[in-house]
Chain A
Amino acid sequence: MSTPRIRLPSRAAPGEIIEVRTLINHPMVTGVAASAPRDMLARFEASIDGVTLFDFAFENGSAANPALSFPLRLERTSTIRFVWTHEDGRRFEAEETVQVG
């Protein structure tokens, strides 16, 4: 598992909707083929100040090296927290701040 990669603008106008692009390297082995044991991320979550704004549940049909892109509307300067959680409970985290105003 590598460090997650996040792409977003460093600045935004109040109320602007920005595009957030995320990527994490992970094989996402489902175990369906029985050639390898299951090794899957369960969940992705993006939050600001502890409030979840977007979350995503990975399923068997989610591709390896999950890339998720989604919009966020920012009203003020915000630190966005990104958390990927493995099915075994491990967490992988990243943070990015966008200056608004």
Chain B
Amino acid sequence: MTLPRRAVLAGLTGVAALTLLPRPLAAVEAAPDAEEAIAAILRGREPVEGGLVLEMPDVAENGAQVPLTVRADSPMTPEDHVTAIHLIATRNPTPGLGRGRLTPGMGRAEFTFRVRLAEDQEVLAFAETIDGRVLAAAARVAVSVGGCAT
């Protein structure tokens, strides 16, 4: 795994490809603080694509209320379940959208909520499993009116 290219970033407005993610997620452009947030989730682990679905609209008319559903393919048994799902905005003023802690008592690894998106961007989801794996998924959302005024 390569390190984040923080050293080559020009500043807060700079973007860079996410070299710490597998292809095609590696092609996602993210602000430097989003890259740092992703590194803090991964803690050196290599995420795998697949087994995780991130459902968002292709076009969000109102960036202040964008529906988001995330769902992992997991039996949610004590031996084999998802423990956490993190949602990251790659082009918001701050990257965190929210994070869920999951237990086998849920029966399914999924939840739905609404997020704010400031502009067109990729949203990333990372699911951590009880055996230490990280699953990753991305959704591209075009935002008509940005929703980060508050």
Contacts and interface: CB of A to CB of B under 8 A. Distances in A.
Q: Among B95, B149, B150, find the residue whose CB has the most chain A CB atoms closer than 10 A.
A: B150
Interface residues of B, number: 35
B61 to A, nearest CB: 14
Interface stretch (A3-11, A68-76, A86-94): A68-76
Interface string B75-112: 01000000000010100111111111111111110111
A68 B111 CA distance: 7
A52 B103 contact: yes
A56 B111 contact: yes
B98 A62 contact: yes
B107 A71 contact: yes
Interface string B121-135: 000000000000000
Q: Among B94, B104, B108, B113, find the residue whose CB has the most chain A CB atoms closer than 10 A.
A: B113
Contact of A57 (B66, B99, B102, B150): B99
Contact of B98 (A32, A48, A58, A69): A58
A61 B96 contact: yes
Contacts of B117: 61
Interface in A6-25: 17
A56 B99 contact: yes
A32 B94 CA distance: 9
